[in-house]
Amino acid sequence: MPKKILVTGAGGYIGSITSHLLLENGFDIVALDNFTTGYKKPLELLQEKFGKERISIYEKSTTEDLSEIFEKEKDTVGCLHFAASLSVNNSMTDPLGYFKNNFEGTRNLLENLLKFNVTNLIFSSTCASFGNAQYLPLDEVHPQKPVSVYGESKGMTEKMIKWLGELKRLKYVILRYFNVCGALEDGFLGDAKKPSPHLMQNAVRGALGIESFKLTFPEVDTPDKSPVRDYVDVTDLARAHLMAINYLLVGKENNDFNLGSGKGNSVLEIVETVERVTGKKIERTKGDTRKGDAAKVYASTKKAKEVLGWEAISRNLV
């Protein structure tokens, strides 16, 4: 009998692509999304491809009463928790909204998971919880001193999860992403947001004339004055989630892993690479400067490779 996984934020970019991989690997999906930033269409496409009986869709927020879902989906064995507000810049203008959705939403979800004995959790976290790098590459023991409300909301949530792992029966893996890019190789699913919060997607759209491209980074202390980030393909992230839930289902210990390519590229390097690959000059205009950006971050992937057996294998533009 297939194992059933609750996926919060299943209609989003990473959530939908990870759901696709889970379905390919024999899991059934309980999809939870309030569709404020995610979409129903990817989930409907998954139903068409894999069968409606294998993916149930619930339109709810993690801050709402979830008991009805858990009572109906009694054979759920774990949860992949993607649902969150994710813009660093927006978090600085709507801090209470970010704490409500990211921290309180997870607290409510955890309460329901424990109540209904769904004790395996994969939590979608972020490198923004580290803040400015004290050393590079960033490993899992690097101090967490966020410089944005988004990073703070995720860091607070990590601490709550770890306490529940210590005091209750919660089993967890925390996965901290660096900057995500890419799509399924056949184009079946990808990043549908317009505009996307992700640089590489917006640069490609700008090069193809789909929408205008704006530079929003603050000037920082790097060689070209633009922030340096670690870009990891979404299919690699999806594979990490599959490996992480399987890791917990065989009884492995609670853990946390940084997920990146292990190298950094600046914003302007990405823009120039997109121009070179597409053969198109991107018209660059200056947008509102983002708040809460760290200058330079990229991941140490040593622990993920040694313990989880994961490393980034997909080829990106850079």
Annotated active-site positions, please? 150
Which residue, 6, 67, 17, is CA-closest to 46?
A: 17
The answer to whether the beta carbons of residues 274 and 266 sit under 8 Å apart is no
Q: Find where tokens 């858990």 sit.
A: 70
Alpha helices in 168-207 (DSSP H): 199-207
DSSP 169: S
**What's the rounded Cα separation, in Å, for the pair 262 and 179?**
11
Q: Which two tokens stand for residue 305?
A: 């490779």
**For residues 206 and 202, what is the distance between their CA atoms, to the nearest angstrom?**
6
| Tokens representing residue 226 in the block | 């633009």
Q: What is the CA radius of gyration of the chain?
A: 19
Burial (Cβ within 10 Å: 0-12, 13-18, ≥19) of residue 209: exposed
10: which 2 tokens?
A: 């299943």
Cis amide prior to 197 (ω within 30 degrees):
no
Side chain identity at 104, as an amino acid letter?
Answer: E
